[in-house]
Amino acid sequence: MAITKMKRLEIVGLNNERKRLIEYLQRCGVVDISDSREEGLESRETATVISQLDQYMSSASEALDILRPYSQAKGGMFYIRPEISADNYAATSGEMAEITALVSEVIKLRKQREKNREDIASYEATIRSLEPYKMLDIPLGTKTVGKVNIRIGTLDGEWDEERLWKVFNDAEIQDVYFEILSKDCQQTAVFVMYHNDAAKRVEPVLAGINLLAPPINTVGKTPLEYSEELRARCEALKNEYEDGEIRIKELATNKGKIELFYDKLSLRREKYNTLARVGITENAFFVSGYIPEKAGEKLLPELEKQFIVSAELIEPDVEEDVPKAFENNAFVSPVEGITSDYSMPSSHDVDPNPIMAFFYYFFFGMMFSDAGYGLILMIVCGLLGFGSFMEKDKRRAYKMFFFCGVSTTFWGIMYGSFFGDMIATVSKTFGDGSVAFTPILMDPVQKPLQLLIMSVAFGLVHILTAIATKFYMTWRDGDKFAAICDSGFWFVLLFGLAVFAGGMALGIKILETVGLVMLIGSAAGLILTQGRNQKNPIMKLFGGILSLYDITSYVGDILSYSRLMALGLATGVIASVINVLGSLGGDSVVGMIAFIAISIFGHALNFAINMLGAYVHTNRLQYVEFYQKFYEGGGKKYKPFGFNTKYFRFKN
């Protein structure tokens, strides 16, 4: 139960074995390989290989995106990736060629289908805009026939022959012929014909009424013929579009192959990434990395057996930035994720998880605090976390919520809450009201003040634990004086404050006196020691007095635990409101159906919102109130070089 003990593994070998050794390390998946370039060694440049692999991978993932809708959906939280033997994890050149061809065909098909779709849309638009001219029996774009000028175009608004004649008559023009081809309320298509001699008089009139020629040339065919031709072309394109889809569907059966290919490339990419970290000289290479002690002792003889290398395990220096991993029992390990989300421990830190786990479950339960919700959480997350519905790595969070569920159920029983006051409501509405779920500890709504005091008291315990941990850490590092002054006095002061307050509240004089003595004594200690880094004696005293000001931040932190009460109340009261709403239908069949419907919907909503609240605020209490007091953080996470893949799991 602690932070895993790491050793530094150093390997020196001959260049001809370098690649094989790195592959071997990748299969073992236990070494977090450091960058030898940082130690001033030369290394092999692999950036070009990696960028090439990146290109292949991005095409492959593009192809997979295209194929996804056509194959049975895999994925989601319950999808367990298939296992595959790691023996042939490198892609063969035949496979490489085959899959690359497949991938580029898929991408080409998609591009072609996109183009088809665009072309179809543009042809259809043309067909639509030819619609007003379909009566016309000469090609659009015809300008002259002999000495006759022809103008075809549209006018804004609805025109009839009378209106058009009026315009020409107003301009005193008689020698013009026109036909209205089609009209609707927005535009009118017209055909106008006039002799060359009349052009000078007619054209200004046509410009005046804004006759616009359509931007289409029907290349020697009548509009009707031309749109028939376009329709035929559209039909052909549509067929091509559909054929493309059929072909993509066929190719989708190969999706698994592409996924495997992608995984293999990503493994190779990781290998080359690591190869770049290996230091080389003319004939030899040097690898260093961190490895958990136990794994290292197993790996070392294997290395020496299989390779001609010199390998040794070295105890890292205190100052070295060793990557960190946690090792805890089943009760504690689920919360490791919460800690690593905050920060990995520094070399000075102790593993905070064992202490934190207990408080985490405890506070979560206090805030969610309903036996019904707790049971649901326990059953669902218990199945997900401890069953085999999911991959191992994904189960951890559910294990955590299982323990949270246990605690929630416990607090629900303490507060007498089972889906709020559902039992009492059901009994009152549909029975004689004799049954109710009596709280063991207290009913939060009846005794909110006691609950508030209890919450703050638990907060004090939490914070005192944090200060005690800090005390232990400083003491262990050898600075015993600082441990007593910086943590010890504060511990006594806060504890004294609690004893004093408890004595006052309960009216016990002795406690009050003891508390007061502890308060004054520790405050004096703080005043005398907190300014010890100052040189000037007056500043020493001043620094000491000023340090007492920190009491406000401690009190603020402790009061922050009032959220334990507020969120606990929120769950219970909202649940009760839902029950009240549900029971409004009264004691009848309809009332019962309404009760069930409202309960299911309402409690589901309350469950979701309050679980979110409990989760968020438990995290906050751990991060802000607890970790701030002693946990330094800032460590690096242990990320062993191995098989990190997306679609398959490679097993040795």
Partner 1 sequence: MMNLGMFFALLGVAFAVVFSGMGSSKGVGIASEAGAAVIADDPGKFGKLLILQLLPGTQGLYGLIVGVMVMLNIGVLGGEPVADTVVGLQYLCGCLPIAFSGYFSARAQGRVCATGVNLVAKRPEESSKAIVSASLIELYALLGFIVSFLVVINI
Q: Which residues bind partner 1 (CB under 8 A)?
A: 338, 341-342, 445, 448-449, 452, 560, 562-563, 565-567, 569-570, 573-574, 577, 580, 609, 612-613, 616-617, 619-620, 623-624
For partner 1, the closer of residues 233 and 620 by Cβ is 620
For partner 1, the closer of residues 548 and 624 by Cβ is 624
For partner 1, the closer of residues 53 and 344 by Cβ is 344
Question: What residues contact residue 402 under an 8 Å CB cut-off, 6+ apart?
Answer: 334, 377, 378, 381, 382, 385, 386
DSSP assigned state of 308: S
- Nearest-angstrom CA–CA distance, 586 and 328: 53
Q: In what order do the strands lie in the sheet with 148-156?
A: 144-145, 148-156, 187-195, 176-183
Q: How far is the CB of 410 from partner 1 (least distance, A)?
A: 23
For partner 1, the closer of residues 246 and 449 by Cβ is 449
Q: Which two tokens stand for residue 336?
A: 């490791």
Q: How far is the CB of 427 from partner 1 (least distance, A)?
A: 16
Q: How far is the CB of 608 from partner 1 (least distance, A)?
A: 8
Q: How far is the CB of 68 from partner 1 (least distance, A)?
A: 12
Phi/psi for 508 (5° steps) reads: -100, 110
Would you say the C-alpha torsion 52, 55, 58, 63 has a positive or negative sign? negative
For partner 1, the closer of residues 238 and 620 by Cβ is 620
Q: How far is the CB of 413 from partner 1 (least distance, A)?
A: 22
Q: How far is the CB of 34 from partner 1 (least distance, A)?
A: 22
Q: How far is the CB of 619 from partner 1 (least distance, A)?
A: 6
The answer to whether residues 80 and 390 touch, using CB atoms and an 8 Å cutoff, is yes
Q: How far is the CB of 224 from partner 1 (least distance, A)?
A: 44
For partner 1, the closer of residues 2 and 584 by Cβ is 584
Q: How far is the CB of 566 from partner 1 (least distance, A)?
A: 4
For partner 1, the closer of residues 148 and 624 by Cβ is 624
**Separate counts of helices (H) and strands (E) for the chain:** 22, 14
- Nearest-angstrom CA–CA distance, 331 and 368: 20
- Nearest-angstrom CA–CA distance, 85 and 520: 69
- Nearest-angstrom CA–CA distance, 463 and 285: 51
Q: To which H or E segment does residue 406 belong?
A: helix 396-415
- Nearest-angstrom CA–CA distance, 444 and 453: 12
For partner 1, the closer of residues 67 and 565 by Cβ is 565
- Nearest-angstrom CA–CA distance, 464 and 577: 37
For partner 1, the closer of residues 185 and 449 by Cβ is 449
Q: How far is the CB of 448 from partner 1 (least distance, A)?
A: 6
Q: How far is the CB of 611 from partner 1 (least distance, A)?
A: 11
Residue 69: count of CB within 10 angstroms of its CB: 10
- Nearest-angstrom CA–CA distance, 11 and 14: 10
The answer to whether residues 479 and 490 touch, using CB atoms and an 8 Å cutoff, is no
For partner 1, the closer of residues 80 and 605 by Cβ is 605
Q: How far is the CB of 584 from partner 1 (least distance, A)?
A: 10
Q: How far is the CB of 356 from partner 1 (least distance, A)?
A: 14
Residue 289: count of CB within 10 angstroms of its CB: 24
Q: Using H for helix, E for strand and C for coil, what is the string for 164-233?
A: HHHHHHHCCCCCEEEEEEEECCCEEEEEEEEEHHHHHHHHHHHHHCCCECCCCCCCCCCHHHHHHHHHHH
Judged by DSSP in three states, 380 sits in helix
Strand 42-43 and strand 2-3: pairing? unpaired
For partner 1, the closer of residues 139 and 591 by Cβ is 591
For partner 1, the closer of residues 314 and 609 by Cβ is 609
Q: How far is CA 203 from CA 139, 176, 192, 563, in A?
A: 21, 11, 10, 84
For partner 1, the closer of residues 455 and 522 by Cβ is 455
- Nearest-angstrom CA–CA distance, 370 and 153: 77
DSSP assigned state of 158: -
Amino acid in position 92: T
Query: First CA to last CA across the chain, in angstroms?
Result: 28
Q: How many residues does the chain have?
A: 652
